[in-house]
């Protein structure tokens, strides 16, 4: 394979062309690092993303459960549902020990997703919520299908 095939060219903010080969040798790497440091100091999203991606347990979770588009969508739905159950549980049970509440939340989530009819409604509500098609909270939406 030729050197040009092994190299990819990246352009940073219209300034220098930077050559990055597949062996991760970076031409002008110090410049990139300084620019990236500025970026993560100014952009909370990229800072959070960078820090999260450096956590081995999170990386293992991604590799294990986020391996195709269907699983990615399902996992995002599960994460939003878990978050909603967690918030609601804490509101209603503020003194309940957190190390125990997480088990109750997982149990509730599992049971909610185990009922096919209820699961379909939950997935639809959650995906609509993610798409931001209304102003209700996800919890309000879930309560509406429990009746």
Mean pLDDT for 73-81 is 87
Angle at 105 between CA 127 and CA 79, to 5 degrees: 30
pLDDT digits (tens, 9 = 90+) for 10-50: 444 434 444 444 334 455 667 778 888 999 999 999 999 99
What is the reported pTM? 0.66
140 or 50, greater pLDDT: 50
Token code pair at residue 136? 């209700």
> What DSSP string runs through 13-41?
TTS-EEEEETT--BTTHHHHHHHHHHHHH
**Is the distance from CB of 78 to CB of 87 less than 8 angstroms?**
no
pLDDT-derived band at 122, boundaries 50, 70, 90: confident
All residues at 6 or more sequence positions from 101 whose CB lies less than 8 Å from its CB, including other chains: 86, 89, 90, 93
110 or 10, greater pLDDT: 110
């Amino acid at each position: 394979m030729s050197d040009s095939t092994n190299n990819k060219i990246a352009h940073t903010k219209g300034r220098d062309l930077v050559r990055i080969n597949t062996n991760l040798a970076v031409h002008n790497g110090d410049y990139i690092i300084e620019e990236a440091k500025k970026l993560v100091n100014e952009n909370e999203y990229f800072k959070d993303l960078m820090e999260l991606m450096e956590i081995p347990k999170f990386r293992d979770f991604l590799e294990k459960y986020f391996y195709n588009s269907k699983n990615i969508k399902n996992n995002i739905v599960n994460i939003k549902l878990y978050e909603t159950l967690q918030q609601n549980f804490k509101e209603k049970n503020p003194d309940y020990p957190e190390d125990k509440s997480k088990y109750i939340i997982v149990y509730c989530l599992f049971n909610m997703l185990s009922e096919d009819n209820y699961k379909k409604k939950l997935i639809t509500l959650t995906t609509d919520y993610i798409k931001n098609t209304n102003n209700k909270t996800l919890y309000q939406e879930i309560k509406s299908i429990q009746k």
